Structure 1
Amino acid sequence: MRLPVSLIALLAVSIPAFAATPLETVAQFHAALAAGQSDQASALLSPGIQIYESGYVERSREQYTGHHLKSDIEFAKATKNKVLKQSERTEGKLAVVMQETETTGTFKGKPVHLFGTETALLEQQDNNWVIVHIHWSSRKAK
């Protein structure tokens, strides 16, 4: 039996929060944001995560979920994010995932066309990968 793509996508963000690889964990985090699943996205973050973006720092999962997560979900739901290039490097219980992305769409009535970079540091905890640091940066497309 073949399942429609939309049902497969829904199932993908409805499964338990932890993925087998760091790259899958980062992809699942972004899928949860785009699906508006804040609990799913939050479960993939370490309680002590630090998120750097545009010179600002959020110093814990609690701070991020209480402050910035809602707006990240709104933005991810309104736009399309395409991964242009990505790499993963794992050394023991630490891994880094680096991505270059292109984001398009309309947000709050304004067109969006951005190129972005993301560096995510992950740690393996109890056979699950969790994100302990994210650094986001973007620029407008010319």
Structure 2
Amino acid sequence: MRFLPHLFAAALALAVQAETLPPAKVVEAFHAALSDGEQAKAEALLLPEVRIYESGHVEATRAEYAAHHLPEDIVYARKSKTSLKRLDTVESPDMAVVTSESETLDLSGKQPKRYAGTETMVLKRVGGEWRIAHIHWSSHLLKK
């Protein structure tokens, strides 16, 4: 119970940070949380009703993603290096779409692998804060 004030302070600090960040920076903060192994920070940037699509699979809520694929995404992010090739943002007052193209070097196996990736994130402004409402990831193995 002694850690609750610290947890609350961390959540409040993240909420203030997200409020001042534009949509592309919220996406960047989400990826940083994955790479840093900070699951709570990653979750805080997602709406409870977030839908995540990847390789034909769907995770329909933040809780479902947190219980299943999020820990795997953190492990993967920590064992790979991604370079952003292109980033575009379309923004309206309460909704934004951030799309990106990247190349990832996967160092998790015996042999490094390179992947080309695309990402679409839809963000909604809720209470003045940008939060991720939808993620769609797609990638393919690059030939040597």
- For Structure 1 versus Structure 2, the TM-score category normalised by the shorter chain is 0.7 to 0.9
Equivalences for residues 131-142 of structure 1 within 5 A: 131-142=132-143
Per the normalisation by structure 2, the TM-score is: 0.85
Give the equivalent residue in structure 1 for 2:10.
none
Name stretches of at least 5 consecutive residues in structure 2 with no aligned partner. 1-12
Secondary structure of 1:132's match?
strand
What letter corresponds to residue 21 of structure 1 in structure 2? P
Give the equivalent residue in structure 1 for 2:38.
37
CA distance in 2, matches of 1:72, 1:45: 14
Q: Residues 65-121 of structure 1, C-alpha deviation per residue, up to 9 Å, x if partnerless? A: 000001000000000011100000001200000000100131143422100000000
Q: Do residues 114 (structure 1) and 115 (structure 2) align?
A: yes
Q: Residues 49-69 of structure 1, C-alpha deviation per residue, up to 9 Å, x if partnerless? A: 000000000000000000000
Q: Do residues 97 (structure 1) and 95 (structure 2) align?
A: no
Give the equivalent residue in structure 1 for 2:70.
69
Secondary structure of 2:14's match?
coil
Secondary structure of 1:109's match?
coil
Aligned positions, number: 128
What letter corresponds to residue 73 of structure 2 in structure 1? D
CA RMSD of aligned residues (A): 1.1
Name stretches of at least 5 consecutive residues in structure 1 with no aligned partner. 1-14
Larger proportion of strand = 1
Per the normalisation by structure 1, the TM-score is: 0.87
Q: Do residues 16 (structure 1) and 14 (structure 2) align?
A: yes
Report percent identity of matched pairs.
40
